[in-house]
Structure 1
Amino acid sequence: MNQHLTIVFPNSISVAIKREDLIHPFVSGNKFRKLKYNLLQAKKEHHTTLLTFGGAYSNHIAAVAYAGKENGFKTIGVIRGDELESKIAENPTLQFAQNCGMEFKFVSRENYRMKQERAFLEELASIYGAFYIIPEGGTNELAVKGCQEIITTQDSQFDYICCSVGTGGTISGIINSALPHQKVLGFPALKGDFLKEEIRIFAQNENWELITDYHFGGYGKINGELISFINQFFRENKIPLDPIYTGKMVFGVMNMIATNYFPSKSKILLIHTGGIQGVEGMNLKLKNKKLPIIDIHA
């Protein structure tokens, strides 16, 4: 995608946003990139069923459900939290996935932690037959291959490339395709520093750093300051941000500019990785807590 916004700051720092969220209406941003080669591989291996894992408001679950429908696959979603089985109607993400034809297997959080163990996968195979596994969040070698296509020769003028980080697949692809003069900054949506080792599994270069100060308390955690920022950013730029990933990354970059992290004349590229489908679910939570909602509608 082309950059759809460039903001110029004092010290001639410029920020451009690459709108990966506009690639596809339902399989947006990094999910489209991660699924591209996995879907081709599943077809090559003559699979008819995709099986994957995710939480209640997972962008990945929604994307796999739609991509499966669009490409003729049956889809199975193993969902973290057996209490959700009776709450599909209250959950816009699960409702969307179900409407796309996805079948759910709800498991307890304890059992969900065993999702990579052989016995657990054999049990799933006994229920559903043969399937092609796509990991939680979609990250594997084929996903990283797809994410390497985010950065193109048109992006060579940028000094910094910034993206949010979930499982580490997207940033790994960006690291691998970034040029030697470019620094990749990742903004984890999760609390903790454990992602470095995950990224090193796939990333071939050392031109990167994780900025761990903008997770707002951890995965799925937000506060009034972040909500206000997302709403203000939309009013000023007409670009929607999601509160789990890209919103935190953009907040972080703007704060780092304000505190003089970047040298003067830096050219910064922000990768908008999508995830807007999760806003509806987040707003339901905010309404229940009688908090301000995220307003990103024109």
Structure 2
Amino acid sequence: MTSSPISKIILDGREFYVKRDDLIDPFLAGNKYRKLYSLLQTPSSKFNKIISYGGTQSNAMLAIAAMCKTKGWEFIYYSKPISQTQKSQESGNLFESKKLGMWHVEIENDNYKELISSLRVNLDDKTYIIDQGGADESAKEGLKVLANEIESENLDISSLATPSGTGTTALFLALALPKYKIYTTPCVGDVEYLKKQMSALYKIPDNLIILEPSKKYHFAKPYPEFLSIYKRLFACGIEFDLLYAPAMWKSLLEQTEEKVLYIHSGGITGNESMLQRYKTKGLNL
């Protein structure tokens, strides 16, 4: 794959660069492509089954489904029970993942943690488990490729930004680019949760700066200010996802001043269902 392009935008009077990883592939794009890079280079014959787990709005879930479709691997995804409304939706990440062949298994809340903890027991050598959100040390290889692409551009910037679920992308990008300042913000849980997730993979480097949101946001819940940022960015000519990007852009606008390169995380396939949720809540689209 050739290096993803870089766009320049003006948002609220500030100049930003955007690394267009969203253009890599409709489903297998953004930071999920980077996280799965190592597996994408793996011969199809090495595995026949991939297992993962998490929420049904997950961008990682859809990316893994796309990868498994390409590789001819079976994909089993575990989640907690979901509503009938979610099951009947004909758009969004769950719908697209199932179209790609994903087998979705719901586990009752009381049994969920135990089931996830037991996944690696008696695992055969043809099955590979990807932890929630793609939080895996194998992601390091793909983030190193991204780091090399960024360095080769010789941009007049020393600060990058990428939102965090598990923090895997931000962590390995910071490790690969020690001369750059890497901004991130927690989109799932709080700062302490994010630090715990990253520390489970590697020691957090000094150049990784976590911007704490101005208020507590619940993941995937519609917020007027998030929709506002989404629309302002869209007016700049780029569509960003509604789950992670608004929180990161809001923190950047409020807490930084310098020129920043934003790493587009992809995930815009989930916007159709999220925009419908905004509409249902009566928020102006």
Shorter-chain TM-score above 0.5: yes
1:267 alignment partner AA: K
For structure 1, which runs of at least 5 residues remain unmatched after alignment? 294-298
SS of equivalent to 2:114: coil
| Percent of residue pairs identical | 24
Question: Cα RMSD over matched residues?
Answer: 2.7
1:248 alignment partner in structure 2: 247
Q: Residue 199 of structure 1 aligns with which residue?
A: 198
Amino acid at match of 1:34: K
**How much has 1:105 moved relative to structure 2?**
0.9
Using the TM superposition, name which of 271-280 and 154-163 deviates more. 154-163
Provide closer, same or farther for how the CA distance between residues 202 and 155 of structure 1 changes in structure 2, counting only shifts above 3 A: farther
Q: CA deviation at 1:113?
A: 2.6
Question: What TM-score, normalized by structure 2, do the two folds share?
Answer: 0.86
SS of equivalent residue, structure 1 residue 238: coil
Counterpart in 1 of 2:161? 162
CA contact (8 A) 1:151 1:174 kept: yes
Show the counterpart of 2:129: 133
For 1:102 and 1:8, locate their aligned partners in 2 and report how far apart those are by CA, in whole Å.
38
SS in 1 for 2:279: helix
SS in 1 for 2:162: strand
Tell me if 1:150 matches 2:107: no
Residue 273 of structure 1 aligns to a residue in which SS? coil
**1:214 and 1:22, CA in 2 relative to 1: closer, same or farther beyond 3 A?**
farther
Once residues 219 and 246 of structure 2 are traced to their aligned partners in structure 1, the CA distance between those partners, rounded to angstroms, is 13
Q: Shift of residue 79 of structure 1?
A: 2.0
Contact 1:26/1:63 (<8 A) preserved = yes
Paired residues for 1:148-297 under 5 Å: 148-152=144-148, 153-156=151-154, 157-180=156-179, 182-192=180-190, 193-200=192-199, 201-202=201-202, 205-213=205-213, 217-235=217-235, 237-256=236-255, 261-262=256-257, 266-293=258-285
Residues in 2 aligned to 1:75 and 1:191: alpha-carbon distance in whole angstroms:
27
Please, which runs of 5 or more residues in structure 2 have no aligned partner? none
Tell me the matched-pair count.
Answer: 276
Rounded to whole Å, the distance in 1 between the matches of 2:9 and 2:134 is 30
Q: Quote the offset at 1:90 in angstroms.
A: 1.7
Contact kept, 8 Å, 1:176 with 1:203, in 2: the verdict is no
Please tell me whether the aligned partners of residues 157 and 261 of structure 2 are also in contact (alpha carbons under 8 angstroms): yes
The residue number in structure 2 matching 1:90 is: 89
Does the 8 Å contact 1:53/1:136 carry over to 2? yes
Distance 1:207 1:59 in 2: 26
Contact persistence 2:164–2:186 (CA under 8 A): yes
CA shift in 2, pair 1:89/1:18, >3 Å: same
